[in-house]
Structure 1
Amino acid sequence: MTVSDLRPGPDAPLPKRVAVLSFHTSPLAQPGTGDAGGLNVYVLQTARRLARRGVEVEIFTRATHSSQPPVEEAGDGVLVRSIVAGPFEGLRKEDLPTQLCPFVAGVMRAEAGQAPGHYDLIHSHYWLSGQAGLVASEHWGVPLVHTAHTLAEVKNAVLTSGDTPEPESRRIGEQQIVDAAHRLVVNTTGERDELVGYYDADPADIDIVPPGADLEQYTPGTRRGTEQARRALGVAQRSEVIAFVGRIQPLKAPDVVVRALAEIVRAEPHRDVRLLVVGGPSGSGLERPRSLMELAEELGVAERVSFLAPRPPSELVDVYRAADIVAVPSYSESFGLVALEAQACGTPVVAAAVGGLPTAVANGRTGLTVDGHDPREWARVLGSLLDDDELRLEMSRHAPVHAAEFSWDSTADGLLASYAGTMASYRARRAAATAS
């Protein structure tokens, strides 16, 4: 069902307290480096919005620093519980499955210290959390809602040079979750179709709830504000600016934008065009953390590329406002929050036509989508949009209007409706089983 179809009835049960599982990355981590990204933003923002609606949310994650307190507040009604599971540092993402057992044990201990029925529902994020959620759901007698965010079958289908395939153990784990979870929540119809096609999921068990953007934080800037943002970033006012925001790893394809920049410069050497890369190495990108810098040097555009560290929303908004275009060239994206945030700031987006990006970007109206990842085609699209001031201005006007259709408040409403339906069907099945 789509979010517009998710409407709980007047007697539908709503959860009082939800346990959210985010095993492999903390919602308090800075997005853009390590394993922190859109999932972190999703978990934290939806938790805060659910709390505003009277639902207490407790987020379970793995502790990554010895100084971390076991429990932290992440807003009114939102607690983050950091469970010690394995070494605090130096544990690769590929090795995280070995720490699922201690993580599950820590989650179970936390629940055991509460009154019976403390949690009404579990919402797990990513396949590792889903595995933990299967155990907790069985022991607590509450339904499990799962959001995959990314899928092994989909990532392997678009594997790019320099990236490593997802292991078979992950695919098997995802299949187990799809078969056993009481509800699957996805971002788009395309993601629903991938679950059905690759994992034989039942469409009736899938709810479509698009993610959102923080529309209070990400807003269009004034001309003076844009000038100030450029000064703060060390960018000349007359420069043409392309921005890439995200983790530096092959899947996100930042190299495509660097190569496209080189193509633009090769055709017009005197053109004053620059690229801002905001993010840190992640995943297989950790093996060669300087590879993107080396590529820029090799292509002769190093002086035109600025590498900036990941930054909080209060500073990231300046990057979006300073850019003429934000590029999202990923090989796979379940949705693409960067595209939404940029448009909320009034910046047109050029994005790969993959995953949820064609939904996040209104092609021809708020930005452009590109088929494939040929740097020459990306150079042509980026260059033509930079050349067309009138079209960019029109897209800048439409972009915030389009982004306003997606908000975290709307996402929270969709999740609440999905939770209510899941709890109602779960209780009905249990009652029927008891009666028989």
Structure 2
Amino acid sequence: MTPKIKVGFHLENKGHPQVDLRIPEKGNPGIGGTQFTTLATAYYLNQLYPDQLEILLLANHLELFPPSLSVCHAESLVDAAIKSEKEGCDIFIFKSAGGGDQIYDQLRKLKIKAVARSNNTPDRSKLNQIADCSQIKAHVCVGHEQLDLLRDHRVFPKSTRIFNPFNVEYFKPKTDIVKSGNTVVFVGNIIYSKGFHHLARVWKKIIQAKSDAKLVVIGSGQLYDRNQLLGKWGVAEEAYEAKWIRPFLSDENGNLLDSVNFLGLLGEEKIGILQQADVGVANPSGLTETFCSVAVEFQACGTPVVSGANGGLLDTVIHGKTGLLGHNDRDLVRNILYLLNNPSIAQQFGENGLKFVQEKFDYRENARQWLALFIDIDHDRLPQQPAMKPNYMYNAKFIRESMRIMKQFMPFLHPAPALIEIKPLLKTYLKKIK
């Protein structure tokens, strides 16, 4: 009998120790997407492949996890790596953007194979650390666009793409939903990088064109840390609220507009709201998204998505079929109003979205790909890679791919920086000049 592969997943959960994570099938209960998808990946692998895998979750707090998961306390990422070896893990999975350089120094001292998982694309230093660390056998991107950004970087041979897992069962409507025709719902962390301010500053234009429009906001600046101090409205940090939210969503007396309702952080109770929404808005800029779980949640609920035509949204939304993706605030207004004013098209987009999520992001396919990766690592093989997406002009992919091929055959080009490295290098150079 082939021995099981033991895999340790590190989960940083010190910022939300009391959140109930016992039933991942119900979706994200109000924590960061990285944290939830780490848990969900470990959980479904444990459920689907108990004869081939042994899963261990290494976390700060061990309460309120699925009873079926084996858990182990780890105070930090470095501590988790050390304990994964002590617990007999063959492979250790960690968040590539966490832990500073200490994790790479520690991995070099351990006799364990590791996988760096990037819910956020690492900076130049960490990409090079991943490429250079022989203990790291694979680098997993959660989006295809994210993977394609790395084609000319030397981390690319180790890199592959595995989308985040999703289970539609609790999200898909069980009965026909009668929508109001005027409700826009935003879900996300209320911080600058998640782009809520784009929607806030155009909301008055939307209600000028459609006077009965309602905006429901699910989320808070406390998504990653329940102890984060919030501003006067209890929505986000005071600096963000004061500059980017209150000036645009206040009436002449400084009070919140009647058309806007902030609901804060929600767990499974948000699902009914997402199902009732006429339009779902996920990070209107799209600029920091490598996947965007919120967009997938909306579509699983049968609700069309409006967002930015950038990054992970190009993987998780089909423009003109499951939602509308734009490039600026004017597009944001136009796309929201188009779906509010054309309910039959919005309904068709919603139906398309549910089918799309079921076909592309199903947790069973996700688990199958992770299992295949673990088997490759166990046999000292590089990870399998999907072909480059055919939108060759986006983010200069054709240049990245051309440079990758040239570097293969022209050794003198190996030191040339990848495109993803050039922008920060230019910023550093300009700072020195100033």
Give how far 1:32 is off: 8.1
Aligned to 2:289: 333
Segments of structure 2 that go 5 or more residues without pairing to the other structure are: 20-27, 229-235, 383-434
Amino acid aligned to 2:189: R
One-letter amino acid of the counterpart of residue 321, structure 1: Q
For the pair 1:413 / 2:368, whether they are aligned, the reply is yes
Amino acid in the other structure paired with 1:45: A
Map 1:322-401 to 2 at 5 A: 322-328=276-282, 329=284, 330-371=286-327, 373-374=328-329, 376-401=330-355
* TM-score, L = length of structure 2: 0.72
Amino acid at match of 2:120: T
Q: Which residue of 2 aligns with 1:46?
A: 41
SS of 1:404 mapped into structure 2:
helix
Among 187, 194, 199, the residue aligned to 1:252: 194
Q: Per-residue deviation at 1:196?
A: 3.5
CA contact (8 A) 2:13 2:35 kept: no
The counterpart of 1:278, out of the listed 218, 225, 248, is 218
**CA, structure 1 residues 29+258, in 2 after alignment: closer, same or farther (shift >3 Å)?**
farther
Q: CA RMSD in A?
A: 3.0
> Deviation of residue 418 (structure 1)?
1.0
Post-superposition CA distance 1:19-54 (Å, at most 9, x none): 112347679775687xx4211221111111110111
Q: How many residue pairs end up in the alignment?
A: 351
Maintained 8 Å contact 2:299/2:357? yes
Identity %: 22
Q: 2:239 aligns with which of 277, 288, 297?
A: 288
Measured after TM superposition, the shift of residue 343 of structure 1 is 0.6
Quote the residue 2:413 is aligned against.
none
Q: Distance in 2 between matches of 1:261 and 1:409?
A: 39
Q: Are 2:114 and 1:119 equivalent residues in the alignment?
A: no
Partner of 1:191: 146
Q: Which letter maps to 2:38? A: V
Using the alignment, how far apart are the partners of 1:273 and 1:250 within structure 2?
Answer: 24
Match of 1:178 among 117, 131, 143: 131
Tell whether the 8 Å contact from 1:347 to 1:396 is kept in structure 2 after alignment: yes
Distance 1:27 1:186 in 2: 25
1:395 Cα shift? 1.1
| Distance in 1 separating the partners of 2:111 and 2:16 | 26
Kindly state the Cα deviation for residue 276 of structure 1 after the two structures are TM-superposed.
Answer: 0.8
**Change in 2 beyond 3 A, CA 1:201/1:276:** farther
Is contact 1:274–1:305 with CA below 8 Å preserved after alignment? yes
Q: Which runs of 5+ in 1 are unaligned?
A: 1-10, 86-102, 154-170, 228-236, 428-436
What are the residue-to-residue correspondences of 1:111-260 with 2, within 5 Å? 111-112=85-86, 114=87, 118-129=88-99, 131=101, 133-135=103-105, 137-151=107-121, 153=123, 171-180=124-133, 181-197=136-152, 200-223=153-176, 226=177, 238=180, 240-260=182-202
Distance (Å, rounded) in 1 between the aligned partners of 2:42 and 2:72: 13
The residue type equivalent to 1:280 in the other structure is: S
Paired with 2:337 and 2:110, the residues of 1 have a C-alpha distance of 56
Residue 54 of structure 2 is matched in structure 1 by 56
Task: Identify the residue that residue 22 of structure 1 maps to in structure 2.
Answer: 11
State which of 288, 297, 310 in structure 1 corresponds to 2:249: 297
Q: Answer yes or no: is the 8 Å Cα contact 1:348–1:396 preserved in 2.
A: yes
CA pair 130-311 structure 1, distance change in 2 beyond 3 A: same
Change (3 A) 1:27 1:344: farther
**Which structure is higher in helix share?**
1
Q: In structure 1, what residue type is equivalent to 2:374?
A: Y
Specify whether residues 252 and 73 from structure 1 end up closer, same or farther in structure 2 by C-alpha distance, changes over 3 A only.
closer
Q: Is the 8 A contact 1:42 1:211 kept in 2?
A: yes
**SS of 1:421 mapped into structure 2:** helix
Distance 1:72-1:146 versus aligned 2 partners, 3 A rule: same
Could you say which residue in structure 2 is the equivalent of 1:94? none
**Cα 1:381–1:416 shift into 2, 3 Å:** same
Q: 2 CA distance for matches of 1:359 and 1:417?
A: 22
